[in-house]
Amino acid sequence: MRLLADHCSSSLSLALWWSLLLVVLGSSGSPALGCYTRIFSFGDSLTDTGNYIHLTARSPSPYGAPPYGRTFFGRPSGRASDGRLVIDFIAQEFGLTNVTAIQVGTAPGDFQHGANFAIISATANNGSFFAGNGMDITPFCLDTQMIWFRDHLRQLAQQQNSSSSSNDVLSGALVALGEIGGNDYNFAFSRGVPRDKVRAFVPAVVDKLAGAIEELIGMGARAFVVPGNLPFGCAPLYLQRFRAAGAWWDYDPTTGCLAWFNRFAEYHNQLLTARLDKLRRLHPDVTIVYADWYGATMRIFQAPGKLGFTNALLSCCGNKTVPCGRPGCPVCDDPSTYGSWDGTHPTEAVYKVIADGVLHGPYASPVPLAKTCPPT
């Protein structure tokens, strides 16, 4: 764990190496009919499909225990939910059914359709950032995931160099960058950092995401989907933790959510979308789709009954006494009616609403994600 955290504070200069690698991988051509050949995914617990529980196997986490995974997989799969995540639905849409967690795959064949570098608890910023803000946090971070990604690309380059294949790895791939950054704020709020100080973190988070996009473009990536923050003022954990300190004006009367925290998420999303607009102007040959996870999810909280969410502000699994994944935790009968699986993470039903809105509209810009890749 410490070794991975140290990677978060590393600054690697690899310009020459990347120049040589791009010669090997090639930087021309496009996938057949515009369809993606791979998905490379980065993020946190909203996207992790097994990295965290693999790396923490010696001290098992609740995410690797029942009833996690019960809705779709019938067993814990490493996902912090009852079933599939947004990334699973996106992969399914494009016929890429095996986007394997990078720490779980053991052979080249495991990564034919891409790789997932996301990990539970990940932050956008590294440990040095948090130390500079008075917090002793050594997280899995975006820097760590980029190190894994570079190593993975190096392996792909070695495989390709020793065969007759001319497959273009990066220009044919879809890069799903996030959601990541929410934990930068969650860790601070949970430690009692004043709201205004946490709000000042937002530009640094957006800078980190933009920097990763620029680096990936330099490597040859030509298509991105970048999610914004969820309305975490509607998460049961936030409603429980901050209810006592709140007053009536802290609540949105139309949803019952904590209004200030949702405005915070909106602020993050505004800065992120503005930066993505700038990146599109700088790189007109690159597709960058903003995934409006906030708007898609707020649709549930604003009119839950219309979508079948009769328990939109409640969690299906666990309670204050026994968290989800621990022996004896209570579990609801029908997770599809709940907005939250475990108090922090959405249910598969919510993820499907988000994925549908991103893939087919209207919760994506400048175009729905599915329209960037015509069906074969």
Contact 228, 273 (CB under 8 A): yes
Measured between alpha carbons, how far is 16 from 128 in angstroms, rounded to an integer? 26
Q: Rounded distance, CA 225 to CA 364, Å?
A: 9
141: DSSP letter:
B
Percent of residues in the chain assigned helix, strand, coil, to nearest 5:
45, 10, 45
Q: Pick the catalytic residue: 7, 113, 152, 345?
A: 345
Alpha-carbon distance of 135 to 333, in angstroms, equals 40
> β-pairing, 114-116 with 287-291?
unpaired
Exactly one of 41, 45, 77, 315 is catalytic; name it.
45
Task: Say whether 345 is catalytic.
Answer: yes
Which residue type, as a one-letter code, is found at position 323?
A: P
Any idea what DSSP says for residue 257? S
Residue with the two structure tokens 């298509």: 223
- Within 10 A of 137 (CB to CB), how many other CB atoms are there? 21
**Distance between CA atoms of residues 235 and 346, nearest Å:** 9
Task: Give Cα 251 to chain centroid, integer Å.
Answer: 27
Supply the residues annotated as catalytic: 45, 342, 345
